[in-house]
Amino acid sequence: MKRFEGRVSIVTGASQGIGEAIALDLAAEGATVVLVDVQKDKLEAVARGIVGASGRADVHQADVSDAVRAQEVADAVAASHGRIDHLVNNAGITRDGLLLRMKEEDWDAVLKVNLKGVFNFSRAVLRAMVAARYGRIVNIASVAGLMGNAGQVNYAASKAGAIAFAKSLAREVAARGITVNAVAPGYISTAMTEKLPEDIQKTFLEYIPMKRFGLPKDVASAVKFLLSDDASYITGQVISVNGGLYM
């Protein structure tokens, strides 16, 4: 039997990169995966791939920073499937720049998606999880939220917030059979990171003891573990997937 057979998993930011890898992994393990993103065409392409591999997927176009829409998605999933077992808060954006030059709208945009989005979807799914006395929530944070990163005060703050959010919510819901954890990736090869100039990529490599960049599947494997019954006694924790970049 597949590990997540009969489970229903919501993955935000599932249209590409880490989110897509997580969705594909969960579907391969038998979960019905609810794909959430603003990019509907890309979501539908991911869904076609899952269905083509004999998996199950639903598509919900949504801006995670919209609290009303987050609740609508959660209500629709609960109504359609009768349960919500997993939530992976992966949706995120960057608006990099030094603080002296950072526009207020760049700060607001990153915090709205990366942190308020975590709040919106976690709150939206919690009623179903509490009623079932079972649930798994995983926030995709970042090494930047642990060690900081020049030029990313907004992004680092949002990811540090996602970690503190996970630890705090874990204390609130542990007695209800719900675990809440975070995964903090380091430098992962995605469409976003591949746009960085080659000299910057080489500089990053110098600081990574394993001397390679991570892959989306490396992060997906950590998420899959935290969602599984093997991690039923793990909550409020952060798993770093960074090749030793930050220890």
Cβ(12)–Cβ(137) under 8 Å?
A: no
Which of the residues 134, 155, 187, 233 is marked catalytic? 155
Tell me how many degrees the CA angle 139-105-44 measures, rounded to the nearest 5.
Answer: 50
Helix (H, G, I), strand (E, B) or coil at 129: helix
The yes-or-no answer on residue 134 being catalytic is no
Token pair of 20, please?
A: 């897509």
Please tell me the distance from the alpha carbon of residue 158 to that of residue 164, in angstroms, as a whole number. Answer: 10
User: What DSSP element (H or E) covers 181?
Assistant: strand 178-185
Please tell me the distance from the alpha carbon of residue 61 to that of residue 42, in angstroms, as a whole number. Answer: 10
How many Cα atoms within 13 Å fall on the side-chain side of residue 8?
A: 18
How distant, in Å, are the alpha carbons of 58, 59, 79, 93 from that of 76? 11, 11, 5, 25
Neighbour-count burial of 226, counting CB atoms closer than 10 A to its CB (0-12 exposed, 13-18 middle, 19+ buried): buried
User: What DSSP element (H or E) covers 140?
Assistant: strand 135-140
Contacts of 189 (CB under 8 A, 6+ apart): 213, 214, 215, 216
Catalytic residue ranges = 155
